[in-house]
Structure 1
């Protein structure tokens, strides 16, 4: 089996085996040198050539051990094996020839054979074994030629040794191949586990709901940012802190009690709890707990090593902000009511028009001041109902007009100046605003009538929330260094509540009871149809009173060459 694709730097078992072989060669060389020295000391016939060979072999083995110990050679037969297998075969043959009849060095052939079987291919292992078998047979022939020993016994011993080496080489190679397969399987399992862990961590980190993992001692092993925010500790670590320790531990006691109840009863729990810190308003949470299975149970799946104890169960706690849940439910209800309202709006328009017309005819014949006031009240409320109906039906109109609108460009500064002048001319005394145009020669991809609708909605919305100061409402345009044009409507109103800010651009959502909640939604729909975007920020702007914070709605226009954005999910709204 070829291990050509194996990466040595990541192949720890084979690196250890390679180092073991290199160390073994050095030890064999040292043992041979010691044996030659003992033979010389015991007044045996000295063999200077054998002593020199052993010394050179030791030096070469040590050099290879010191310089080439990190990376095993390629398993393919090549020149890189001359310094190991070739040298071993040459040294054993030379020693056997120099000390014929004195010592038997045949067992030392096992070292290069094992080295080829473990770190080389099967072909190289069998080839090395074949070379060794031929050398053994040649050695038997040499002994017979010099009349040393029995000829048949010498050949039989060489053949048996060669056969044994073939079996050893094959088994060693199969064991090494099995090690490779097991290692590849372990690496694939590790990569899969790491990928699953990274995906799980990414999902948990970006969940809007909080996730806590804690043990029976209320020690937190993991917490995502949403959980830390709900716990009231923006600067808490993401792990390794206790819910029973610290200055905020008293506020976390409901969570600790729910976790303990889960461990005692042994199954999931769900409850609504309140986390209240000192000098802060309480945070209402809906909490669900799950228990991980014991990792020592026979059928339990493998669990991530979050604790040092393998038999310890963990409690996974999901924290949901009750206010956010209620807001989502409210939004869904409002959307459902909006669909129903849109259907009803068609039926209201005709009788409402009849009421308005009849009231106008009746008002011409009324002379009593009290009766004329009553007729005026009817007219004003009919007009209000007509505006609400128009706002509801504007959703369908906006979608249809935007779909049929041709691609067009307009000069941003000229269009904004003209639209702001028209809007201000309707009520000059009430509609005071400052216009600062800094997008000279900017051409944007937008329909003129749609820009008027967007700007009117933003200005009407800002007018309702601005202060009485004359510079409390400002409109500005600008271009970025990259050439992107933008339009901003700013007013010095009070900051929006966080629950209102989250649903600003949703249909039928409004913080005022007299509003239909469709103005900003229509703005967003028109911007998306033209490839633009709209967003809200809390910004400071210079005024006569100095820098003042206010609410800013910014429209970023797309370059004229880019296609418009696709329709949003709200396009399925039926009117």
Structure 2
């Protein structure tokens, strides 16, 4: 692995050059310490030793500058530095008396550096040079002064150099191998991440990566588009259906799929952040959710993934099929209902000519009014099948609501405190009064069915949006609509009641659309109401009227 440096990765080659620079910095420090030592006249200091250390310091500085500015021929620069170290240490070794001076330990510095950065053969060659030099010098001294003790010490030092070079070289080889493997794995992971980012960013399905508290750690562009922009956390009234579905899945992971309907641009806080917010606030998306836990075993974290699929277009196609059934139903109504209804109306007119008693007139009037009302409902259904537009004039909403409340209370024999009107003021809207009456009667009938019956358990109140549009909210204190039911709430023939036809809410929405208004079920924050220190949101039906022009 050390034989050819260019065969290693860029990260490993950079590690080698940084290690060479660290070795050069250490050389400069050692040269300065030796120069100061001999300059102070300590021990066996001589003038020649000071000159050697000065030259050594200059050479070390030059080699360091060369290595930092010219990153080429690594092995040549390394061996030049090691040769300089061995030469200078050998000169100091001889000038200070050999083995007795203790400078033999300085050989460990270049030999360890060579063992780390050079192949094992070169490192052992350098260790053999140092050992042979010490043995030769000790042999010379033994011949001159008849002292053989230094030869034994030189031999022991040589053995230590060979052992140190061998151990350090093997450890360095293992570390460099691990670094090379880590670098290769890093490249593979980087490539995999790039591919994952490409696939996720081009996926038509939205992808959310969440923590257990709903914090969003990652979302792809499709999810951001579905949710109206980047979402740092699943919270708020707009995302309440998604929050409820996520919490339900965490409580029961078996239910890994679900359907929700959200209005991503319905949060007033987004009005100044999203372009054309007021124009898009009524956009509703029907999403199919798929939940999956990420495999984070042993990482002490929890991450879950939600896949969002926009099924609005699919549901629209399904609704077209249901509308075809609606066409057949309206044809049946036209033939089977209108004719008997006309007969009843005609018979009622004949009875009015013969029965003049007040009680009879009152009963006949009730019959006539209800015949006319049913006949109008049949005509509305026929108009819906033909997508006919209503012709409507401005109406005063406050007076209309007061009259509707009085009639509804009397018809259903309700305590006047149960149905509460709020936020009433002088406001004119363009809506066919009979159509609006049918819509509200339908919503109030549902509210009476599920409300608790306590005072103010049913509320109808007017709200003006920041964009200047008038809204009419119908709310009760009954249990909220589940996300599963909410996803199909306005579909024709969909009902959770054994006695229902599944047309009530569908016709109510269509009547609103024919009057340039919008009916939807939303979660909104209630002013002044909190739950656990956080703002409390609740569901209600919202009619958004068209702006008066």
TM norm structure 1: 0.48
Pick closer, same or farther for the CA change 1:274–1:106 going to 2, 3 Å: same
Deviation at 1:148, TM superposition (A): 5.4
Deviation at 1:60, TM superposition (A): 2.4
Pick closer, same or farther for the CA change 1:46–1:183 going to 2, 3 Å: closer
Counterpart for residue 310 of structure 2: 321
Deviation at 1:267, TM superposition (A): 5.9
2:285 to 274, 283, 286: 283
Pick closer, same or farther for the CA change 1:138–1:222 going to 2, 3 Å: same
Counterpart for residue 195 of structure 2: 199
2:26 to 9, 20, 24: 24
CA distance in 2, matches of 1:129, 1:96: 16
Deviation at 1:85, TM superposition (A): 0.6
Pick closer, same or farther for the CA change 1:163–1:45 going to 2, 3 Å: closer
1:243 to 217, 234, 241: 234
Indicate if the aligned counterparts of 2:9 and 2:180 stay in contact, CA closer than 8 A.
Answer: no
Correspondence list, 1:272-311, <5 A: 272-276=259-263, 277-278=265-266, 279-293=281-295, 295=296, 297-298=297-298, 311=300
TM norm structure 2: 0.50
Deviation at 1:7, TM superposition (A): 4.6
User: Relative contact order (alpha carbons < 8 A, sep ≥ 6): 1 or 2 greater?
Assistant: 2
Correspondence list, 1:239-278, <5 A: 241-244=232-235, 249-265=236-252, 269-276=256-263, 277-278=265-266
Q: What do the CA deviations read for 1:287-343 (whole angstroms, capped 9, x no partner)? A: 1111223x4x34xxxxxxxxxxx6331221111111344579999xxxxxxxxxxxx
Q: What do the CA deviations read for 1:131-179 (whole angstroms, capped 9, x no partner)? A: 11211111112211321522xx332222222122111111111111111
Counterpart for residue 167 of structure 1: 163
Q: What do the CA deviations read for 1:87-124 (whole angstroms, capped 9, x no partner)? A: 11110111112222562321111111112111111121
Indicate if the aligned counterparts of 1:267 and 1:291 stay in contact, CA closer than 8 A.
Answer: no
CA distance in 1, matches of 2:159, 2:118: 20
Counterpart for residue 140 of structure 1: 138
CA distance in 2, matches of 1:267, 1:63: 71
CA distance in 2, matches of 1:170, 1:72: 27
CA distance in 2, matches of 1:271, 1:70: 63
Q: How many residues align?
A: 302
SS at match of 2:89: helix
Counterpart for residue 121 of structure 1: 119
Whether 1:87 and 2:76 are equivalent positions in the alignment is: no
Deviates more, 1:118-127 or 1:213-222: 213-222
Counterpart for residue 353 of structure 1: none
Deviation at 1:61, TM superposition (A): 2.0
Counterpart for residue 177 of structure 1: 173
Indicate if the aligned counterparts of 1:73 and 1:81 stay in contact, CA closer than 8 A.
Answer: no
CA distance in 2, matches of 1:18, 1:267: 59
Pick closer, same or farther for the CA change 1:67–1:267 going to 2, 3 Å: farther
CA distance in 2, matches of 1:50, 1:131: 22
Pick closer, same or farther for the CA change 1:123–1:267 going to 2, 3 Å: farther
CA distance in 1, matches of 2:317, 2:82: 74
RMSD: 2.8
Pick closer, same or farther for the CA change 1:21–1:72 going to 2, 3 Å: farther
SS at match of 2:97: coil
Q: Which runs of 5+ in 2 are unaligned?
A: 267-280, 321-549
Indicate if the aligned counterparts of 1:262 and 1:269 stay in contact, CA closer than 8 A.
Answer: yes
CA distance in 1, matches of 2:74, 2:119: 6
SS at match of 1:256: helix
Indicate if the aligned counterparts of 1:75 and 1:120 stay in contact, CA closer than 8 A.
Answer: no
Indicate if the aligned counterparts of 2:114 and 2:123 stay in contact, CA closer than 8 A.
Answer: yes
Indicate if the aligned counterparts of 1:9 and 1:71 stay in contact, CA closer than 8 A.
Answer: no
Counterpart for residue 228 of structure 1: 224
CA distance in 2, matches of 1:61, 1:143: 30
Q: What do the CA deviations read for 1:216-263 (whole angstroms, capped 9, x no partner)? A: 3322222212212222x2xx24xx62332xxxx422111122222333
Indicate if the aligned counterparts of 2:131 and 2:154 stay in contact, CA closer than 8 A.
Answer: yes
CA distance in 1, matches of 2:254, 2:89: 70
Counterpart for residue 186 of structure 1: 182
Q: Which runs of 5+ in 1 are unaligned?
A: 299-309, 332-575
CA distance in 2, matches of 1:67, 1:199: 41
Pick closer, same or farther for the CA change 1:266–1:140 going to 2, 3 Å: farther
